[in-house]
Chains A and B, each alone.
Chain A
Amino acid sequence: MDFTQTHFELFGLPQSYALDRNQLDAAYRELQNTVHPDRFAAQPDAEQRVAMQWATQVNEAYQTLKHPVSRGVYLLKLQGIDAFDASNTKMAPAFLMQQMEWREVIEEARAGKSMAALDALTDDLRAAHRRIEAHLAELIDTAHDFAAASEAVRQLRFMDKLIAEVGDVYEELET
């Protein structure tokens, strides 16, 4: 296993935030088909151990590239930048305002036990998520503005937390 290889190199993909999901999935399937422990279940221990290490690494690489936040964090890390550096917490006031508004919508939906309001909010949050992703691709791949990209990654993580909170409210209202 070559530990100097990037996750992008492992899957034979260009190093960019914009991602051809079909290509990633196909390469992932191909690699797991080759290295998965199920392919070595009848083989000696040495081969089974190597297979487990490889499959673990391939899973880790796939999960990192698949998720919008971790892919951004990883690309910035390759540039030597820590997107969640404690000294770097800048966030646009407009974005924070929007966050507060969304949180109010969640609270209202919870108080009013309104599934319809949660459904509508989920659609809004997912749309906003996609917009930030598109912006992030531009910042990293075209503008190479890594400071702004770090902020966009932090925004995406905020969005993920909000979406998870909506999930908790769904759960609360269902039971």
Chain B
Amino acid sequence: MALLQIAEPGMSTAPHQHRLAVGIDLGTTNSLVATVRSGLAVVLDDEAGHSLLPSVVRYCASGDVEVGYAAQAAQNSDPHNAITSVKRFMGRGIADIDDIASLPYRFVDAPGMVQLKTATGVKSPVEVSAEILKVLRQRAEVAMGGELVGAVITVPAYFDDAQRQATKDAAQLAGLNVLRLLNEPTAAAIAYGLDNASEGVYAVYDLGGGTFDISILKLSKGVFEVLATNGDSALGGDDFDQRVFCWIVEQGRFQPLSAGDMRLLLTKARDAKEALTEHTEVRVTAVLSTGEMMDATLTQADFNAMTASLVGKTLTPTRKALRDAGLTVDEVKGVVMVGGSTRMPCIRQAVADFFKQTPLTNLDPDKVVALGAAMQADVLAGNRVGDDWLLLDVIPLSLGLETMGGLTEKVIPRNTTIPTARAQEFTTFKDGQTAMSVHVLQGERELASDCRSLARFELRGIPPMVAGAARIRVTFQVDADGLLSVAAREQSSGVEASVQVKPSYGLGDDEITRMLKDAFTHAKDDMYARALNEQIVDAQGLIAATRAAMAEDGMLLDATETAAIETSITALEKLMAGPDHQAIKRGIEALNAATTEFAQRRMDQNVRRAMAGQKLETFG
């Protein structure tokens, strides 16, 4: 591979400075932050020495927000305000949450995403998640002694566009620069693959607190290529807890429960499940606030029986993923276990039986995702030279449009490697039709109503024509984070409309701005000064990068072009001395626009060099 690093495009800015970057595993049950220190990925602990941060946020009547162990300790006494497993509500409406009756929260139905009523007001799952991310960001900044350049945030591979966008919004709200959203199984594969210097096809079986993912990857010469992914974004350890919870309620013959008792029994259920990882039976006792009691023994055999259907629910997506990858069980060289729920003996046994081999469990299943994310953050921040790797990931669910009769027309099929773009042509069905409504969908089902609705927008101003004469080209672009944007254009008239698939569910930019404002007012921070500072740092980075690129590849520009870029730099430098962060932002955009052609030429040059190296390697 040494031949291939003639031009290292990521290396043109400040090569000697180590940029502080972290990987964050924002989990259903626990969250972690990790970084790479002296070439080694390490999880960062809090002051008390805890690596895991329970993903619990409590909104106290006093206005304080508790996150982690303190919030977790209060969940029985303050069940409405101590929010657990909020990840299950990200990008989800009320109708999407199956077990809503057995959850102790006060849900508020809101367009797109459900919200929660707390002691300090109605909170969106994005805001709750942002509180967790803020604590992890502070933990990292204290441990690393500086501001972070950016973070890689992991998401379940099977998260759809709505859930991904909600996660990115939460990071933005927490003041994190998202270098990349990374799929959890892929992160785990990095941590395992690089540790074991593996080659071949691997399966990653990732059962977390609330989500299940299965990914099939091919590892070859430093490239991690995801061949197929599948899963269930509403299946995890929480569901196993629910089964035990139902058993406890049955054993105790309990009447309808108060929210506090419900929380208590859910905690008992989880403790019993965890105890059964080490022991063949466990005694479960509980005393409710009503004085009702229960005392019974749960055996591993009973537990296995009551959860067998859940275990089975993980194998169906596993078979689908293998089929999509065009592979059989015999071609899988190793199976990596990820997520705390893979500690359950029944899971390990089922996976071993299915893949006909003992799964790999040598890395801590709770930490492996964060470690992999930290390693990827290190690469993306540009801290590694020469020995880095490349990830080629896929979209988990097909993207499409609603067509006549409420049917789904797939535009990008699932398991397509990202980034990707596809266009499809449509036409009008009525004479003189001047508008067309575009309904963007995600999912595998044939009926549009069975798929997730991502966005609706209208293309107006189509010149009147006979039915079938207009040619409307709808283009889907999925970026490296797996996020979609859609544009529509009438070909003969050039009328256009586009949407960053975002406002119809999740949060609009206005809403994010409002939340940011609220957050800063609450912290008595000077939002304006912060915005100004951020823009100045961005501008400095851009100017440094541009100058480095010109020093390296200045010969790709003629005198006029060089002068134009210099003019933009000078203009930006002048704005940086002033107080207007909006003006600096516009200056940054102007400089970016002025260097686009230059960036194109640099890339063309890189490609030529790389392919020349390739020929030498192939034929030499």
Question: How would residues 1 to 41 of chain A score, 1 for a CB under 8 Å from any chain B CB and 0 otherwise?
Answer: 11000000000100000000001011101111111111111
Question: How would residues 574 to 611 of chain B score, 1 for a CB under 8 Å from any chain A CB and 0 otherwise?
Answer: 00000000000000010111011011101110110011
Q: B545 interface residue, CB < 8 Å from A?
A: yes
Residue of A nearest to B393 (CB): A38
Q: A170 interface residue, CB < 8 Å from B?
A: yes
Task: Chain B residues near A59: list those with CB within 8 A.
Answer: 416-420
Contact of A29 among B220, B315, B323, B603 (CB under 8 A): B220
Is the beta-carbon distance between A33 and B390 smaller than 8 angstroms? yes
Is the beta-carbon distance between A42 and B382 smaller than 8 angstroms? yes
Q: A46 interface residue, CB < 8 Å from B?
A: yes
Tell me which of A47-55, A74-82, A147-155 binds B: A47-55
Is the beta-carbon distance between B180 and A41 smaller than 8 angstroms? yes
CA distance A46 to B221 in the complex (A): 29
Task: Chain A residues near B242: list those with CB within 8 A.
Answer: none
Is the beta-carbon distance between A38 and B419 smaller than 8 angstroms? no
Q: A56 interface residue, CB < 8 Å from B?
A: yes
Q: B319 interface residue, CB < 8 Å from A?
A: yes
Residue of A nearest to B549 (CB): A47
Residue of B nearest to A59 (CB): B417
B569 to chain A, nearest CB (A): 12
Contact of A30 among B4, B12, B381, B593 (CB under 8 A): B4
Residue of A nearest to B376 (CB): A38
Is the beta-carbon distance between B19 and A42 smaller than 8 angstroms? yes
Is the beta-carbon distance between B9 and A50 smaller than 8 angstroms? no
Is the beta-carbon distance between B316 and A175 smaller than 8 angstroms? yes
State whether A27 and B599 are in contact (beta carbons under 8 Å apart), knowing that A32-B392, A59-B419, A174-B319 are contacts in the complex. Answer: no
Q: Tell me the A139-175 residues at the B interface (CB within 8 Å).
A: 167, 170-171, 174-175
Contact of A33 among B323, B589, B602, B610 (CB under 8 A): B610
CA distance A106 to B614 in the complex (A): 45
Q: Which among B7, B150, B421, B598 has the highest number of chain A CB atoms within 10 Å?
A: B421
B326 to chain A, nearest CB (A): 9
State whether A47 and B599 are in contact (beta carbons under 8 Å apart), knowing that A26-B614, A170-B323 are contacts in the complex. Answer: yes
CA distance A50 to B220 in the complex (A): 26
Is the beta-carbon distance between A23 and B599 smaller than 8 angstroms? no
Task: Chain A residues near B603: list those with CB within 8 A.
Answer: 1, 35, 47, 50-51, 54
State whether A60 and B380 are in contact (beta carbons under 8 Å apart), knowing that A33-B390, A41-B179, A171-B320 are contacts in the complex. Answer: no
Contact of B13 among A38, A43, A51, A175 (CB under 8 A): A43
Is the beta-carbon distance between A44 and B546 smaller than 8 angstroms? yes
Interface size class of B (residues with CB under 8 A): 35 or more
Is the beta-carbon distance between A40 and B390 smaller than 8 angstroms? no
CA distance A23 to B382 in the complex (A): 29
Q: A63 interface residue, CB < 8 Å from B?
A: yes
Q: B260 interface residue, CB < 8 Å from A?
A: no
Contact of A43 among B150, B416, B480, B545 (CB under 8 A): B545
Is the beta-carbon distance between A56 and B179 smaller than 8 angstroms? no
Q: B149 interface residue, CB < 8 Å from A?
A: yes
CA distance A30 to B421 in the complex (A): 21
Task: Chain A residues near B390: list those with CB within 8 A.
Answer: 29, 32-33, 36, 38
A60 to chain B, nearest CB (A): 7
Contact of A34 among B9, B19, B418 (CB under 8 A): B9
Task: Chain A residues near B591: list those with CB within 8 A.
Answer: 44
A116 to chain B, nearest CB (A): 14
Q: Which among B4, B541, B614 has the highest number of chain A CB atoms within 10 Å?
A: B614
Task: Chain A residues near B149: list those with CB within 8 A.
Answer: 42
Q: A45 interface residue, CB < 8 Å from B?
A: yes
Q: Tell me the B328-354 residues at the A interface (CB within 8 Å).
A: none
Q: Tell me the A102-149 residues at the B interface (CB within 8 Å).
A: none
Q: B464 interface residue, CB < 8 Å from A?
A: no
Q: Which among B13, B390, B391, B541 has the highest number of chain A CB atoms within 10 Å?
A: B390
Q: Tell me the B372-400 residues at the A interface (CB within 8 Å).
A: 379-382, 390-392
Q: B283 interface residue, CB < 8 Å from A?
A: no
Q: Tell me the B129-156 residues at the A interface (CB within 8 Å).
A: 149-150
Is the beta-carbon distance between B607 and A54 smaller than 8 angstroms? yes
State whether A52 and B480 are in contact (beta carbons under 8 Å apart), knowing that A34-B9, A170-B319 are contacts in the complex. Answer: yes
Task: Chain B residues near A44: list those with CB within 8 A.
Answer: 541-542, 545-546, 591-592, 595, 599
15 cross-chain CB contacts under 8 A = A1-B603, A12-B614, A29-B390, A34-B7, A34-B606, A38-B480, A40-B9, A42-B13, A44-B546, A44-B592, A45-B589, A54-B603, A56-B419, A59-B416, A174-B316
A residues sitting closer than 8 Å to B (CB atoms) are 1-2, 12, 23, 25-27, 29-47, 49-52, 54-56, 59-60, 62-63, 167, 170-171, 174-175
Q: Assuming A1-B604, A30-B611, A32-B390, what are 14 further A-B pairs, CB within 8 angstroms?
A: A27-B614, A30-B613, A31-B610, A32-B223, A34-B606, A35-B603, A38-B379, A40-B10, A43-B545, A46-B592, A46-B599, A50-B596, A52-B480, A174-B319
B residues sitting closer than 8 Å to A (CB atoms) are 4, 7, 9-10, 12-13, 19, 149-150, 179-180, 220-221, 223, 315-316, 319-320, 323, 379-382, 390-392, 416-421, 477, 479-480, 541-542, 545-546, 589, 591-593, 595-596, 598-600, 602-604, 606-607, 610-611, 613-615, 617-618
Which 7 residue pairs are nearest across A and B when measured between Cβ atoms? A41-B380, A34-B610, A37-B480, A42-B382, A46-B599, A50-B599, A46-B592
